[in-house]
Amino acid sequence: MNLKTKSAILGFGVLALAGCNTDMWRQPKQEPLDASEFYADGAANRPLVPNTIPRGYARQDDAYYVGAENGKWLDGLPAGIKVNLALLQRGRERYNIYCTPCHGQLGDGQGMIAHRGFTLKRPVGNYHTDRLMKMPAGHFYEVITNGYGAMFSYASRIEPQDRWAIVAYIRALQLSQSASPSDLKPEELQSLSAKNETHDRLAQK
Amino acid sequence: MAQIFRPSANSVAKLSLICFAIGVPTVWLAIAGLSRSPANTKQDVPLNQPVPFSHQHHTWELGIDCRYCHTSVEKSSYAGLPSTETCMSCHSQIWTNSPMLEPVRQSYETNTPIQWNLVNKVPQFVYFNHSIHIARGLNCNICHGPVNEMQITWKGNSFQMAWCLQCHRAPERYLTENITRPGQSPREQVFNLYWELQKKGVKGLTIKQRDEARGEFTGSDDAEDLAKGRELVKKYGIKVQQLADCGVCHH
């Protein structure tokens, strides 16, 4: 084998090995939730600089973003929210994701997690008690935003718009659980009783 | 002049030709097989985590929606991992003395994140986006496998390019509708599977749903499904000719 052949084989070998190069697989950039050796807490995600507000987050409308105005909870929904079927459906969807684990699908505080031990220390809120039936809507918004008792804040998980949708749906739940069969049209009664166990229970009363 | 080769050299020459003909493809196939095997792709290999989190327990037994923890899956490229705060929403009250949850409490007290080991990853030159796949009604298990049955999470599919292309070349084989309430968008339909699984159990599902729930759905060739799939491709405005272009994923 002469030198030319040897260097040709070596050259091809090196080229073939270049295929194993994974520089591009892990690039010198940070993706969300990456670890970082640079920051002290080991996370690439950075918390907000204290006393700053991100662009677009200047939330000055207290009624909408706090649920209270002039130190009083808002009774009803803020001006920017229109109650319609789409809002209630969105509210039901978000409620079923974030609230049912504890509050249950009926809002009676009998969710799965409540049964798994949350009640041992403090019972989970039941929307159908007198106290919560009379509570202004702003209270529910504020509880979702800041938490209450053993309940954590859900502000980082639920957007303000969705929080109001959930509040609207909680009102619908309250209405549903204190409704009497006479509130319904006969044809609604018929179609419901075929499907809905809850309604069956009401109808028997 | 003496002979250079003995008569047996004839056989050696023939044999070496045969070995070459068999050997090269064998080595080639072995490398190809190895790169596709779980040893390389880590498919179906459960990965140790600082906290032995069970999806099976949280989603299947307790019925917690995927989005309770993976909050951004519908609106962002990242599904999002739950923050320690999300874990503590329940575990500040439940299993408060469990040694398994010590890293979670530690993380909460010291305000340092838990370092989970990444189960599902694609190379960084792939720009995968969760939200668009959810918006087209593809449920979690089609890509992630039977997450609702996983005690310790594993990678449900190889996530190699050939696997991605199965669907990107023929989306009509994968698109389905699963409407339980009138007017549901494809995004909303995605999570119906898990509610139905809760309500009816595996046995109450249709065969296709069962395959989806078990992470065994690899596209349908049923004429009716394909017709429906083609209709959905049209309805969603999916440009099939461009869907397998390099730039779709490799920007």
What one-character-per-residue DSSP string does B187-223 give? Answer: HHHHTHHHHHHHHHTGGGS-HHHHHHHTT-------H
Scanning every residue of chain B, which has its alpha carbon at the shortest distance from the alpha carbon of A36? B115
Element (H, E) at B53: none
Cβ <8 Å between B65 and A96: yes
Q: What are the tokens at B165?
A: 């292309």
pLDDT at A201: 62
> Per residue in A81-119, pLDDT tens?
999 999 999 999 999 999 999 999 999 999 999 888 776
φ, ψ of residue B172 to 5 degrees: the values are -65, -20
Q: Does B32 reach chain A within 8 Å, measured CB to CB?
A: no
Residue A17 lies in a domain: no
Query: What's residue B112's pLDDT?
Result: 86
The alpha carbon of residue B28 and the mean position of all alpha carbons in its chain are separated, in whole angstroms, by 27
Q: Is residue A189 situated within a structural domain?
A: yes
Q: Which chain B residues have a beta carbon less than 8 Å from that of A118?
A: 90, 93-94
pTM summary value: 0.86
**Nearest by CB: B112 against A22, A26, A42:** A42
Residue A87 CB coordination number (10 Å): 20
Q: Write out residues in chain B with pLDDT < 70, as ranges.
A: 1
Chain A CB contacts of B89 below 8 Å: 151-152
CB < 8 Å to A26, chain B: 124
In A, minimum Cα distance to B126 occurs at A25
Contacts of A24 in chain B (CB under 8 A): 123-125
- CA A187 to chain centroid, in Å, comes to 35
What phi and psi, each to the nearest 5 degrees, are found at residue A148?
-160, 125
Å from B78 to nearest chain A CA?
8
Q: Do A156 and B83 touch (CB under 8 A)?
A: yes
Query: How many residue pairs from chains A and B have C-beta atoms closer than 8 A?
Result: 73
Cβ contacts of A93 on chain B, cutoff 8 Å: 188
**Read out DSSP for chain A?**
--HHHHHHHHHHHHHHHHTT--TTTS-SS--TT-B-SSSTTSBSSPPPPTT---TT-----HHHHTSEETTEE-SS--TT---SHHHHHHHHHHHHHHTHHHH-TTSSS--HHHHTTGGGTSPPP-TTSHHHHSS-HHHHHHHHHH-BTTBPP-TTTS-HHHHHHHHHHHHHHHHHHT--GGGS-HHHHHHHHHH-HHHHHHHH-
Please give the pLDDT value at position A137.
95
Query: What is the domain count for chain A?
Result: 1
Give pLDDT, residue A204: 63
pLDDT, residue B251, reads 83
The pLDDT score that the predictor gives to residue A23 is 81
| CATH number of the domain within which A134 lies | 1.10.760.10
Residue A161 has pLDDT above 90, yes or no: yes
Chain A residues with CB-CB distance to B under 8 A?
22, 24-27, 29, 31-33, 35, 41-43, 45, 93, 96-98, 100-101, 112-113, 116-118, 120-121, 150-153, 156-157
User: Do the Cβ atoms of B158 and B146 come closer than 8 Å?
Assistant: no
* Residue closest to A137 by CA, chosen among A79, A187, A190: A79
> Average model confidence (pLDDT) for chain A?
88
Residue closest to A113 by CA, chosen among B152, B65, B191, B104: B65
Q: Say yes or no for a CB contact (<8 Å) between A93 and B62.
A: no
Is the pLDDT confidence value at A200 over 60? Answer: no
- The Cα of B122 is separated from the nearest Cα of chain A by a number of Å equal to 8
Question: By residue range, what is the domain housing residue A152?
Answer: 62-204
- A144: confidence class by pLDDT, cuts 50, 70, 90: very high
For residue A176, tell me if it sits in a domain. yes
Does residue A45 have a pLDDT over 80? yes
Q: In this structure, is residue A55 part of a structural domain?
A: no
Sequence-ordered list of residues with C-beta below 8 angstroms from that of B32, at least 6 positions apart, any chain: none
Contacts of A35 in chain B (CB under 8 A): 115
**Which residues in chain B have their CB less than 8 angstroms from residue A22's CB?**
123
Residue A197 domain-assigned? yes
pLDDT at B167: 95
pLDDT 10s digits, A179-193: 888 888 888 777 776
> How far does B222 lie from chain A, in Å, by closest CA?
32
